């Protein structure tokens, strides 16, 4: 048996940090795909796929391609001291850096779009939609400007605009729950779910710091390892935060409260008594009542129809019952006789209804219900 130990492809030393770049890139990539498969499992479980899920999938794919480019850069010498690198190696690293930064911006744009479309899926409010679409337009403008500014190494402007869009996305979540009729705890849960993207702002600030050190360093290929690590953390977490924000336990209070508020405002607007009754916890399921007539028979017009009395003790524990008798009048559907031989087609139809309603205390006279049934049967 051979006892030869295979050396690692990269070693982390003060003059060679390629191993650090490779380890962090692989770790963040594993986290990203783990979160994506969790999201995929949850969506397949409920058998639905939304637009924000598609943007999450696109961000995952773009992030994977960007990580592959970083792996290739590390193989070319990214993170190694410039003393051992040739001009060809530096040129390859530069080309890979440009492609990596473009994919970095596009991946961030896709992750922002996924969160914004999640907002649009949760609420149909006009004000919320305007805020979401406005933030999406701002993010698209940021992406276009950032790709242009890459050639001029204006990373401070790119990072500043990125932080502004992230804050705008976070404040939309506060705006969503501000006007909803829900408890403070439920609002905090929803806002906390969307605040999962706030660490992206911290990662962006750290990345800007290391980028400034790289641009002013005498050994940029070695210093670029720190900025590459910060870039991978920011990019990976921005994708993972989409899955965290879209988890059901965080959004369930928002969905229930918004749907309830929506139904109350549309069905019970302007009726405080109805709104109060809609919040009652004493609800009874409606069941079909047996017809008074037999199969194939109809109750003649002008006769009373028997109404079965429900179990008043289940509905009214206070000992209260009510009975209603409905009589249908004879329908008059004559030809246009009263039109005085007019050439116009006039059809007159009259229907008369008579409703009798009484109520009594069950505690005082429970036998009234039995006699009422016998009387209704006799009428039929």
Reply yes or no on whether the pLDDT at 34 is more than 80: yes
What pLDDT, on the 0 to 100 scale, is given for residue 232? 94
What are 35's two structure tokens? 């979160």
Question: CA separation (Å) from 358 to 281, 307, 352?
Answer: 27, 13, 20
Close Cβ partners of 190 (under 8 Å, ≥ 6 residues apart): 173, 176, 177, 250, 251, 253, 254
Mean pLDDT of the chain: 74
The C-alpha torsion from 54 through 59 and 65 to 70, rounded to 10°, is: -170
What pLDDT, on the 0 to 100 scale, is given for residue 278? 40
pLDDT band of 329, cuts 50, 70, 90? low
Reply yes or no on whether the pLDDT at 202 is more than 90: yes
Neighbours of 60 (CB within 10 A): 25
Beta-bridge mates of residue 356? 325
What pLDDT, on the 0 to 100 scale, is given for residue 110? 95
Helix (H) or strand (E) holding 84: none
pLDDT, average across residues 104-126: 89
Range with the poorest average pLDDT among 57-61, 111-115, 369-373 = 369-373
The phi, psi pair for 33, rounded to 5°, reads: -70, -30
Do 192 and 252 meet the contact criterion of CB atoms below 8 Å apart? no
Beta-bridge mates of residue 325? 356
What pLDDT, on the 0 to 100 scale, is given for residue 252? 56
pLDDT band of 180, cuts 50, 70, 90? confident
What pLDDT, on the 0 to 100 scale, is given for residue 360? 53
What are 152's two structure tokens? 């001029």
pLDDT in tens, 274-323: 344 444 444 444 445 554 444 444 444 444 444 444 444 444 444 555 66
pTM of the prediction? 0.64
pLDDT, average across residues 102-111: 95
What pLDDT, on the 0 to 100 scale, is given for residue 108? 95
Cβ neighbourhood burial of 181 (10 Å; 0-12, 13-18, 19+): exposed
What are 200's two structure tokens? 């992206």
Neighbours of 187 (CB within 10 A): 19
Reply yes or no on whether the pLDDT at 251 is more than 90: no
Distance CA 239, CA 112 (A): 9
């Amino acid at each position: 048996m051979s006892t030869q130990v295979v050396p690692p492809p990269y070693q982390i030393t003060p003059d060679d940090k390629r191993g650090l770049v490779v380890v962090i890139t692989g770790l963040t990539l594993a986290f990203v795909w783990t979160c994506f498969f969790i999201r995929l499992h949850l969506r397949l479980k409920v058998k639905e796929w939304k637009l924000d899920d598609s943007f999450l999938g696109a961000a995952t794919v773009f992030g994977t391609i960007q990580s592959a480019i970083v792996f290739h850069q590390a193989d070319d010498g990214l993170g190694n001291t410039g003393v051992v690198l040739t001009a060809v190696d530096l040129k390859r690293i530069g080309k890979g850096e440009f492609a990596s930064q473009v994919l970095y911006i596009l991946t961030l744009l896709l992750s922002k779009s996924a969160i914004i479309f999640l907002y649009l899926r949760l609420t149909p409010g006009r004000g919320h939609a305007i805020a979401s679409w406005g933030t999406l337009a701002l993010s698209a403008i940021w992406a276009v400007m950032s790709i242009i500014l890459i050639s001029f190494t204006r990373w401070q402007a790119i990072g500043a605009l990125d932080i502004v869009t992230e804050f705008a996305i976070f404040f939309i979540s506060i705006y969503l729950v501000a006007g909803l009729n829900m408890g403070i705890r439920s609002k905090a849960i929803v806002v906390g779910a969307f605040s999962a993207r706030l660490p992206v702002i911290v990662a962006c600030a750290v990345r800007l710091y290391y980028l400034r050190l790289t641009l002013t360093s005498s050994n940029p290929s070695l210093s670029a390892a720190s900025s590459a690590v910060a870039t991978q953390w920011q990019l990976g977490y921005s994708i993972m935060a989409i899955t965290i924000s879209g988890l059901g336990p965080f959004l369930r209070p928002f969905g229930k409260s918004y749907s309830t508020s929506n139904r109350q405002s549309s069905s019970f607007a302007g009726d405080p008594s109805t709104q109060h009754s809609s919040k009652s916890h004493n609800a009874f399921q409606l069941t079909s009542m047996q017809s008074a007539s037999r199969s194939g028979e109809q109750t003649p017009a002008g006769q009373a129809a028997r109404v079965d009395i429900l179990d008043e003790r289940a509905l009214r524990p206070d000992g209260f019952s009510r009975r209603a008798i409905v009589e249908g009048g004879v329908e008059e559907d004559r030809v246009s006789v009263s039109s005085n031989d007019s050439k116009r087609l006039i059809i007159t139809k009259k229907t008369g209804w008579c409703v009798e309603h009484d109520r009594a205390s069950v505690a005082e006279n429970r036998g009234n219900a039995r006699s009422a049934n016998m009387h209704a049967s006799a009428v039929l």
